[in-house]
Amino acid sequence: MTRCLLWITLLSLALSGCEQMALMTTPSKKPQPSRSKLAQVAEKKFWDHLHQGAYEQLPETTKLLTAAYLENPNDPQLAAHLGFAHIWKITERARLQQVPPTITDEITLSKSYFKDATRMDPADARYQGFLGDSMLVAGKIAHNDREQVRGYFQLKRAINQWPEFNYFTAGYVMSSLKSDSDHFKEGVEWQWKTLDLCSNSKIDRANPDYRAYMGLETTQGRKRACWNSWIAPHNFEGFFMNMGDMLVKQGDWQTGVKIYRNAKLSKGYSTWPYRQMLERRIQHAQENVAYFNHENEHSPDRSILFNSGYGCAACHQQ
């Protein structure tokens, strides 16, 4: 019996070694941008529908992106946009009249596509951050603690690559956690760190007035993530709405209101489709402490941004 177990162990080790050798000698996917007409149409539809906040058009967007990806599965951008389309579908599920249980498949697909994108283009810190988000959410849905831990450390690596972008990306997904949890508190801290980095200073947490820093607006370099852009026309406003929501959920509604008001400093505030949602948040901040923690009503004004049904559109809709 002992000899039999020894042979089984040796055989297992040999097979494992063969597998590792086979993997090491098998070439990985090489990134290759798509130039086909299908890819161009798919990418245009993706951006058009995202900038329109056209959640109802997601089936068409996803179908085109998937077809283009199957035509060229070596395009990291196509893979990433497919990942974003699927994460958009589950994030704004509150828009659906009935949310099917299969909605959870969206995060599984999102994780798969972002993992593919990061393998082909590991230098893009945005892909790394969204991969961490999808891993964390997938782990939470499946009650898979190890997957959540893997997602958390993936987010930490993404933050190290591009903190101005990924402190927000990581903290945003944590806004859905219980307000007294350590990770929620860390998510709030990451929003403050974003402001410190973007302002090149230490923000006064008792009086976080951002007016003195508006002259720093840029479309270049890493700090472009702090401001509005073609990709996210209202990124600035959306950031302050989410951060205000997190502070309100934490019980600090007075500071939350001050953070909300910073969104009004944006040059594009008057054209922001969700400015009235922000105004109602300012008006009802104190009572929203309870609503944001329990979310019994599932309405945009009584839910944190992440669960409002407009969690992507708030930054990306023109």
Residues 193-225: pLDDT tens digits? 999 999 999 999 999 999 999 999 999 999 999
Residue type, 297: E
Question: How many angstroms separate the CA atoms of 13 and 19, rounded?
Answer: 10
* 30 pLDDT tier (thresholds 50, 70, 90): confident
Q: If you ran DSSP here, which 8-state letter would residue 208 be given?
A: -
What are 293-300's contacts with CB under 8 Å, separation 24+?
293/178, 293/179, 293/249, 298/94, 300/94
The string of pLDDT tens digits covering residues 120-129 is 999 999 999 9
The string of pLDDT tens digits covering residues 175-190 is 999 999 999 999 999 9
End-to-end CA distance of the chain: 71
Q: What is the mean pLDDT of residues 294-299?
A: 77
Q: With contact defined as beta carbons under 8 Å apart, do 85 and 65 qualify? A: yes
Helix 125-141 × helix 105-120 angle, to 10°: 150
Q: With contact defined as beta carbons under 8 Å apart, do 192 and 200 qualify? A: no
Q: Length of the chain in residues, anyone?
A: 318
Residue with tokens 């959410």: 137
More confident call, 3 vs 68: 68
pLDDT mean across residues, the chain: 93
CB atoms within 10 A of CB 154: 23
> Is 24's pLDDT higher than 70?
no
pLDDT of residue 220: 95
User: How far is CA 174 from each of CA 46, 105, 235, 261, 315, rounded to the nearest angstrom?
Assistant: 26, 20, 18, 22, 17
Percent with pLDDT over 90 in the chain: 87
Residue with tokens 């070439």: 27
Phi-psi region of 210 (alpha: psi -120 to 50; beta: other; left: phi over 0): alpha
The string of pLDDT tens digits covering residues 253-284 is 999 999 999 999 999 999 999 999 999 999 99
Q: What is the mean pLDDT of residues 128-144?
A: 97
The string of pLDDT tens digits covering residues 78-122 is 999 999 999 999 999 999 999 999 999 999 999 999 999 999 999
Residues 226-259 as b/e (b if ≥16 CB within 10 A, e otherwise) read bbbeeebbbbbbbbbbbbbbbbbbbbbbebbbbb
Rounded to whole angstroms, the maximal C-alpha distance in the chain is 79
pLDDT of residue 8: 58
pLDDT of residue 12: 61
Q: With contact defined as beta carbons under 8 Å apart, do 309 and 95 qualify? A: yes
Question: If we measure between CA atoms, which residue out of 66, 104, 102 comes closest to residue 83?
Answer: 66
